[in-house]
Chains A and B, each alone.
Chain A
Amino acid sequence: MDWVNAIIQGTLLGGLYALFAAGLSLIFGVMRLVNIAHGDLIVFSAYVCLTITTSLGIHPLVALVLVVPIMAAIGYGLQRGLLNKTLGTDILPPLLITFGLSVIIQNTLLQVYTADPQKLSAGDLEIASIKVGSLAVGMLPLLTFAIAVAVIASLQYMFYKTALGRALRAVSDNQEIAQLMGLDKRHIFGIAMALALAVTAVAGVLLGIRTSFDPSVGGGRLIFGFEAVIIGGLGNIWGTLAGGVILGVAQTIGAKIDPGWQILAGHIAFLVVLAVRPNGLFPRMSA
């Protein structure tokens, strides 16, 4: 029964990792940009939420109403003001600039909030659970997973059923021809980054409720998101959920064997997939 429990916990944890991955996957899909600062932006969102909850005294999930638009606005500004200038055939500038951004965000957070671990307090939600047979499943992990499914389903819908999604796919396919359709790619990229950081905001708040965080944990979140993307297969939105779940289950099973093995087991699962199925388990399927 312990093992079943570990698998359930891992699956639910995978929802959080899918949220880390979805934003990463979205911007890579639209503009072939890999944002090294992605993990730091997740942590940054958690700190934004912390400031809002402590100053307004509201629940962190309610604070999402503010955190999401704030992060989306930051994303749009970041893309228009900085990242658009780096996009081209050379992969070096965007990589190094987002790396610089990562260091800047980390140290700014350190300056403002110090290195002390923080946590978002969600009150009773943190300890609430429901009984399934002899197992107790936490409300928070369950809610996280449900939110992840909802976010990914909305992204999928937006991408394949709306005018915005059409524009995003057109720009992703062929930037020049998309411009001939009157699409300003600088704006479209801005929107894509805004969407990615809106998802990041949700991920950051859920992370902050689940565990304590400090300015240095961004790199690890980037890696988890990245692993979920690669395990799931590039260019597949639902794949990121599958990838997140596989990563989460690998980690909880690893932790079951030896607590020191939790993260390592996740990395090993990723490396095994990379060795056996380098295009991921669910490579791009057209919707």
Chain B
Amino acid sequence: MPEILQVQGLETQFRTREGVIHAVNGVSFSLKEGETLGIVGESGCGKSVTVMSMLRLIPSPPGKVTAGKALFQGRDLLTMSDEEIRHIRGAQISMVFQDPMTSFNPVLTIGRQVSEPLEVHMGLNQKQAEDRVAEMLAKVGIPNPKDRLNNYPHQFSGGMRQRVMIAMALVCNPQILIADEPTTALDVTIQAQIVDLVKRLRDELGMAIIWITHDLGVIAGLADRMAVMYGGFIIETAPVRDLYGHPTHPYTIGLLGSLPRMDEAGSRRLVSIDGLPPVLLEKPTYCPFAPRCKYAVERCWHENPPLMQVSPDHYSACWVDTETGRERS
């Protein structure tokens, strides 16, 4: 499959009163057509900022993309004109946000809001747009979609609103859907429904997905490939089975160790990672995870490890081979 999105060396900073926050520090990844990439990491590790930077939705000031490229079908999203990126947003790359309660405009009807991308990108008239919106709402499982076009967001439940959000993102048949923690604000039972819905729509429409989450459980059954982020870096990336089966970065091992497992006999205390995530006021010259890492060696404090290949298609940014406990050469 050809790659439709290549992000290279993306860096984003925020200027604040306390200093410059280095939120994203040279992130590179690529996305193939129809592929699902899961980006995981704890709050504040830069996963949302990474995708927002790509679409230039970072509030500026204080945010600024300071380096890197984001090539979509060979064109750099970061340097194209405002007009050009506008035609990509919502049409070819669209987003679903975390909180369905606040992500809709409270004073416009659902029908109006879902049809906006159609008006902007497809030039449909109101009648055509309405039919398309109703069709899309039916597809995401809203009962009586025609009657609900004139309803306002507050007349929908949280789960239903997230369905509408997904319908709105997919209404123009985009090639890439970016889902920024779309299930975090929902009940566990609703989370599963939303994941199933996205899976079904992906099989039907064939778009590529970037799914951001801090919940390793949600993403396991959905993603083809995973990228783990820490302190504004991607520290490990691998196909999903490989990552869950053979995590190599100490942080990934820690994350997986903090998950409860169904297949384990008896009870086990869940392991937590000691320490706090880094404050990103300085671009680290050493491994950002070193202060919390039990494998850390001398070198980790002097040199920030780049992503290194550990097996085919599996990369990890760690100086230590965690299986043997020995330093990589």
Co-assembled chains A and B: no
Interface residues of A (CB under 8 A from B): none
